[in-house]
Structure 1
């Protein structure tokens, strides 16, 4: 196998494994055999499997030794940090077992050895010795990376091809027609996530339906336990809820949702409506890594919806499906049709899912699409998730004592407002074929958010982006704890990644459908002002996510 073919095959193996296994179980190395040795009974003879060494034949064919002093020094540091015998010129840092922590250690070691500051984003964008050394040698002369060269994205033309719905996803000829409601049996995906917990609460409160919740678990009992634990964590569990739902062990990344034949057939015939909230929400991962869950999983949901009984599908998308562009742009609640400017793995997977919903609806499979902004805490209680990028940024800036200057505006959508909207519209069954923008109360410029933090007891220095980034990376290299550590690949030395926001962008999101659907419902969204932000910060302080605040200013 040639070096190029082996590298491509190894990447395909890792992509497949990442869709089937937890991160910690994904192999960092592979051995390729013509066939597996077998026992007479047909089972694999493990005793005859070759022992793995770093110099296995497939890897040796791909090994290219470093040549220049810079390449040799970099490869030696990588080998020491990763604990491997040798590192070739084109070996991928992350395929050799590297992670964000190892990347930070490697960057610190290179800095100490060469005096050159290596940003973690540089390593994620240039993950081989050859590419990293070349990048560092040409730093300052390379053109700015544009959308087509975005390291976590695929090209716009490829994205359009990815969004083509498979031909077999059409209502079965003998499928029962969609129910007009009220629904007796609803399937929910993503029920163990933050938004999922509030969707559970709203679906239970607003209907008498029994809920089946797809969860990665070994047994139905363990699946139900995970749902309950999440609802308890965010304060939305009530006694008696256990009688309203069942956990369904499954996996969005697997064919037929990882369900056995009997369970799949039962859900196909019994479920009357689906709320598809499940997704892998990670801005730091590339499109190909997120695809099994976010894209293929969405296909499987639509495939289930078309079998035995036609089931309306209500899909939680994102405002991030709209292209990022500087200046003023108005985005109506139309189909997502323009992929140019949609960058970043997570954003692109949601764009693909959004497009597939429109195609499914055109094939007589009813769908609705909901596009919230950045999901923020509950406006009723202040309960917030701590693992979102926005909240990690808030905590990271508080830990650093400084905020970056960033000319972007935030669309903050309270989680309970989002969940109430989805449940109200989905259970009503009147808006099939529609899309809804859920941008929140009003846009909040980043600098105003920093001002609100100061008023609420967290004053921060405001630094030009390059200075803020230098302080953040220096703190990380000193071993100081910072919530933004896992997101460092998204921050370049000169500017943040494009998928975090667009300087000078002022999008205006139409809400005609949303306002019509919520008319008379009593569902309202609070604006992201001091009262609401203070409620969030009270919650963060109570659970010790943020430190106790300094004396607060009066308004």
Structure 2
């Protein structure tokens, strides 16, 4: 027998595979909403290949349900309602048994099959499920309470499941005692900088921040990115620049790829690399973050909070390094009516909702605490980042852009009194880099709002003006049409955001209807005086530029195509 042949009952191999599946699942749950986390992982010694070298998908083994999916212990149905609902799940998911306390998504469900399940439940019980509440606790037991005539109001009225209490936020905002400048650390450089570290450089805002750093300085830009080595890291950064047509001659020579991970201790760097980066880098722009609104606080915390701590820890070693942190106006509490927010350190935490906003509130507060300990920090709070005000280049992976596409696919938009503060990405990047290259300012915080906020209804009217035949519906009617379309299996971008929408109203993360926040920017404008950096308002011309970009890239159909699709329905 070959010494390399694997034994079918090899306990060491089985243990390793189980551990590897657990690691993959933990990583996925850190970076994906629950509905998108794979329920099963199959570990193979190698992938089957076709003669051309591509993966032979037809030869991949079928899932058997034994691939380490659900972690919950099996709990049998306890009532007739639970038993019937469990049978619906078994038929839909192709399983022999379903525990009533096991997550629908751990059993192999996803954001599409949950809609099919909801349709079957409605047919049997004549109850339209509140899908937002279903996503909060996707178990047979919860579903039974929702369809029962004696529903438990304490369960069906659950609070925001993606956030935490203010006590936990404030506890996480306490800066660890070891984050303090080394006694023998060199003083902070004041510029011009020779070496700058950028995190989040493979994201949308990160691409424009890198472009501005390369254009406005002579510094080499070290970019922290998940990769197998420096060359792959640099290649990923350059590919991201190219995606938005931002590559210029000579860029590659000044981009230094740093393989690492903001979600790991010491930024995922080896001891040697950590010492080297700490010694060479003179200034840091910390932009990396998980920005999804539907990922819970606990899953965001390693990157958004602990990652901020690791950046500050790096800033204390060898040489004190100024840290310029990209926060968000989302750190301000939701507030009905008018409220003005000044450019100052955070104090209020009540009303900051959802994992993303709460994690940014904590990281923002950590920056203030670090400044008090002698680490030069600067916080920038932009509104919702939108496309370039020059080219229209725009990221698709944002809530507002998914909402736009979803409404176009549906042929209708929701009538919702929500004020949006949309900030062009190149204006934001130019402002941050201009100020960062000038050193840390006396004021610790700058708001970066738009030049003019726009109502959601106003933006959808511009979309109609562009040529998309959208109907305007009351929220409840829009939600019912969206749910029905998804239950029929129609493609719609909003399927990923169902946890944010209930039958009566959206979740708090979407925004408070009727809220009219004002973000002070006098300190920002004073600091930018004479720079020539100005924010273009998101008006008809600019918004149509964004829509033209989406059509040119294939993200949106041309308006005439959308009209033909609507007529055929």
Equivalence for 1:429 = 439
Segment drifting more, 441-450 vs 321-330: 441-450
Taking the TM superposition and a 5 Å limit, the aligned residue runs for 1:15-54 are: 18-19=29-30
Distance across 2 between alignment mates of 1:235 and 1:23: 33
Equivalence for 1:198 = 208
Normalised TM-score (structure 1): 0.87
Equivalence for 2:284 = 274
**Distance apart, 1:225 and its partner CA:** 1.4
Distance across 2 between alignment mates of 1:16 and 1:363: 33
Aligned to 2:153, the other structure's residue is in SS state coil
**Distance apart, 1:99 and its partner CA:** 3.1
Equivalence for 2:368 = 358
Deviations 1:179-217 (A, max 9, x none): 111111000000010001101100000000001101111
Equivalence for 1:4 = none
Residue number among 310, 328, 335 corresponding to 2:345 in the alignment: 335
Equivalence for 1:110 = 121
Distance across 2 between alignment mates of 1:145 and 1:183: 55
Aligned to 2:334, the other structure's residue is in SS state coil
Equivalence for 1:458 = 468
Equivalence for 1:123 = 134
User: Is it true that 1:394 corresponds to 2:401 in the alignment?
Assistant: no
Q: 1:312 to 1:23 in 2, by over 3 A?
A: farther
Q: 1:309 to 1:434 in 2, by over 3 A?
A: same
Equivalent residues of 1:20, 1:253 under 8 A apart = no
**Distance apart, 1:85 and its partner CA:** 3.8
Equivalence for 1:76 = 87
Aligned to 1:67, the other structure's residue is in SS state coil
User: Is it true that 1:415 corresponds to 2:433 in the alignment?
Assistant: no
Equivalent residues of 1:367, 1:433 under 8 A apart = no
Equivalent residues of 1:20, 1:254 under 8 A apart = no
Aligned to 2:258, the other structure's residue is in SS state strand
Equivalent residues of 2:420, 2:456 under 8 A apart = yes
Equivalent residues of 1:217, 1:250 under 8 A apart = yes
Q: 1:286 to 1:20 in 2, by over 3 A?
A: closer
Equivalent residues of 1:476, 1:485 under 8 A apart = yes
**Distance apart, 1:253 and its partner CA:** 1.0
Deviations 1:430-459 (A, max 9, x none): 416521111112110111112222222224
Taking the TM superposition and a 5 Å limit, the aligned residue runs for 1:65-214 are: 65-137=76-148, 142=153, 149-214=159-224
Equivalence for 2:556 = 546
Distance across 1 between alignment mates of 2:453 and 2:147: 39
Equivalent residues of 1:171, 1:364 under 8 A apart = yes
Residue number among 495, 498, 501 corresponding to 1:491 in the alignment: 501
Q: 1:140 to 1:330 in 2, by over 3 A?
A: farther
Deviations 1:492-511 (A, max 9, x none): 11100111100111111100
**Distance apart, 1:12 and its partner CA:** 12
**Distance apart, 1:61 and its partner CA:** 9.2
Distance across 2 between alignment mates of 1:198 and 1:452: 26
Distance across 2 between alignment mates of 1:403 and 1:19: 31
Equivalent residues of 2:208, 2:426 under 8 A apart = yes
Distance across 2 between alignment mates of 1:19 and 1:476: 26
Distance across 1 between alignment mates of 2:462 and 2:243: 27
Q: 1:532 to 1:125 in 2, by over 3 A?
A: same
Taking the TM superposition and a 5 Å limit, the aligned residue runs for 1:259-338 are: 259-338=269-348
Q: 1:410 to 1:383 in 2, by over 3 A?
A: same
Distance across 2 between alignment mates of 1:140 and 1:382: 49
Equivalent residues of 1:465, 1:495 under 8 A apart = yes
Equivalent residues of 1:312, 1:432 under 8 A apart = no
Deviations 1:376-397 (A, max 9, x none): 0000100011111111111111
Equivalent residues of 2:133, 2:156 under 8 A apart = no
Residue number among 521, 532, 536 corresponding to 1:526 in the alignment: 536
Q: 1:212 to 1:137 in 2, by over 3 A?
A: same
Which sections of structure 2, spanning at least 5 residues, go unmatched? 1-21, 42-63, 562-569
Segment drifting more, 89-98 vs 349-358: 89-98
Q: 1:29 to 1:174 in 2, by over 3 A?
A: farther
Q: 1:81 to 1:294 in 2, by over 3 A?
A: farther
Equivalent residues of 1:361, 1:433 under 8 A apart = no
Equivalent residues of 1:15, 1:288 under 8 A apart = no
Aligned to 1:149, the other structure's residue is in SS state coil
Distance across 2 between alignment mates of 1:169 and 1:545: 44
Distance across 2 between alignment mates of 1:139 and 1:481: 35
**Distance apart, 1:306 and its partner CA:** 1.1
Equivalent residues of 1:358, 1:433 under 8 A apart = no
Distance across 1 between alignment mates of 2:268 and 2:480: 45
Distance across 2 between alignment mates of 1:317 and 1:67: 48
Deviations 1:454-489 (A, max 9, x none): 222224211000100011111111111111111111
Aligned residues: 520
Superposition RMSD in Å: 3.0
Q: 1:484 to 1:27 in 2, by over 3 A?
A: closer
Aligned to 1:369, the other structure's residue is in SS state strand
Distance across 2 between alignment mates of 1:543 and 1:139: 51
**Distance apart, 1:120 and its partner CA:** 3.1
Equivalent residues of 2:331, 2:357 under 8 A apart = yes
Equivalent residues of 2:33, 2:295 under 8 A apart = no
Aligned to 1:437, the other structure's residue is in SS state strand
Equivalent residues of 1:107, 1:119 under 8 A apart = no
